[in-house]
Amino acid sequence: MRRIFSPDSPYKVQARSLAIFWTLLIFIACFTPGEDIPQVAVPDADKWTHIFLFGGFTFLWLCARPVRTISSLAGLFLIAVALGAFIEVMQGWLTFLGRSMELMDAIADAVGGILGIGFFCLLAYFATRKDIRK
């Protein structure tokens, strides 16, 4: 497991393919016409979906490029925020989709981005730390 989170990971190509697929999934999910989205009885399901999608986005892109410098983490976070904002603006403009621009969705995207980065860093820490019991 340690090798997944190292900068010289042999799994970068597979992770990049999965990250590209996940990014396409975000676009498909966010540009699906509103009438085609099933209604669920879970409170704020839309916001939880945004958190999950963008958490997966940042996590998978970090697996594809497992560098943990502050600038690379901040850059990926900014990319996630920009992507979320772009999608929200496009939903507002493309009114024929039956979707709307919502600030809370963009905030949920940012929260998901932070959680995905945090989850990656936490797993990387535990995967690469030295066993102190030796």
Q: What is the pLDDT of residues 59-103, one digit of tens each?
A: 999 999 877 789 999 999 999 999 999 999 998 888 877 788 889
pLDDT at 30: 87
Asked if the model's pLDDT at residue 35 lies above 80, the reply is: no
pLDDT at 46: 86
Secondary element (H or E) of residue 79: helix 70-93
Distance, in Å, from the CA atom of 113 to the CA atom of 67, rounded to the nearest integer, reads 16
Asked if the model's pLDDT at residue 33 lies above 80, the reply is: yes
pLDDT at 129: 74
pLDDT (mean) for 102-123 = 95
pLDDT (mean) for 17-25 = 96
Displacement of CA 59 from its chain's centroid (Å): 6
Q: What is the pLDDT of residues 123-134, one digit of tens each?
A: 888 887 764 444
| Angle at alpha carbon of residue 47, lines to 81 and 57, rounded to 5° | 45
Displacement of CA 43 from its chain's centroid (Å): 21
pLDDT at 18: 96
Displacement of CA 99 from its chain's centroid (Å): 21
pLDDT at 17: 95
Amino acid at 14: Q
What are the strands, taking DSSP E only, across 16-129? none
For the chain, percent of residues with pLDDT exceeding 70: 93
Per the CB < 8 A criterion, the answer to whether 69 and 7 are in contact is: no
pLDDT at 67: 78
